[in-house]
């Protein structure tokens, strides 16, 4: 894993890790690297945008997306995310991509990329201030995506 990717992931994830006393940043990076070696995780990065999408295998046919980004331009993030989704369809056997959002910016990004809302986990995310937020669950099915490109 390239150094800029490690730095970006730790920068974005350390506030979350700080709430978990049993998790340490170095251990988190080692876990990611181990999962990459075993093909459980793939990373797609754009150093110029300082953005990384982590693709995590959930089952043989379902993966989850996690984004780490400093990019402030939504249209670039949408394009980058769509490129990652095309890569998934072209290079894997996954039939479904899942993602979640705890804020409207991420929810809007996922919607613009073709994801549909599948549900809401009520008060399932602990904010940095200790408060609870809902988590919106999104999904995108390969067949749905292929139908969209045919129209």
- pLDDT tens string 1-31: 678 777 877 776 665 555 555 666 677 777 7
What the block records as the tokens of 67 is 């984004």
Residues 87-107 have a mean pLDDT of 93
Task: For residues 95-117, give the mean pLDDT.
Answer: 93
At residue 27, the pLDDT reads 72
Cβ partners under 8 Å of residue 28, min gap 6: 9, 10, 13, 17
pLDDT at 149 over 70: no
Domain that holds residue 115: 3-150
pLDDT at position 39: 77
pLDDT score recorded for residue 128: 66
Once rounded to an integer, what is the mean pLDDT over residues 112-135?
85
Placement of tokens 């974005």 in the chain: 12
Contact 46, 8 (CB under 8 A): no
With cut-offs at 50, 70 and 90, classify the pLDDT of residue 130. Answer: confident
Look at the chain and report how many structural domains it folds into: 1
Indicate which CATH number applies to the domain containing 81: 3.40.630.30
pLDDT in tens, 64-94: 998 888 888 989 999 999 999 999 999 999 9
Q: Which of 27-41, 68-82, 117-131 has the highest mean pLDDT?
A: 68-82
At residue 146, the pLDDT reads 63
Spatial CA neighbour of 11 closest among 61, 56, 70: 70
């Amino acid at each position: 894993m390239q150094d800029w990717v490690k730095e970006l992931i730790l920068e974005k994830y350390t506030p979350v890790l700080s709430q978990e006393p049993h998790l340490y940043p170095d251990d988190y990076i080692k876990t990611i690297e181990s999962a990459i070696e075993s093909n459980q995780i793939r990373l797609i990065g754009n150093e110029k945008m300082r953005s990384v999408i982590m693709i995590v295998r959930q089952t043989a046919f379902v993966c989850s997306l996690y984004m780490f980004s400093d990019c402030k331009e939504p249209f670039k993030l949408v394009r980058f995310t769509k490129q990652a989704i095309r890569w998934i369809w072209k290079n894997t056997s996954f039939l479904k991509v899942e993602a979640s959002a705890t804020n409207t910016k991420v929810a809007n990004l996922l919607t613009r990329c073709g994801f549909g809302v599948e549900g809401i986990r009520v008060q399932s995310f602990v904010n940095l201030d200790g408060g609870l937020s809902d988590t919106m669950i999104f999904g995108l099915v390969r067949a749905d995506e292929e139908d969209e490109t045919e129209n």
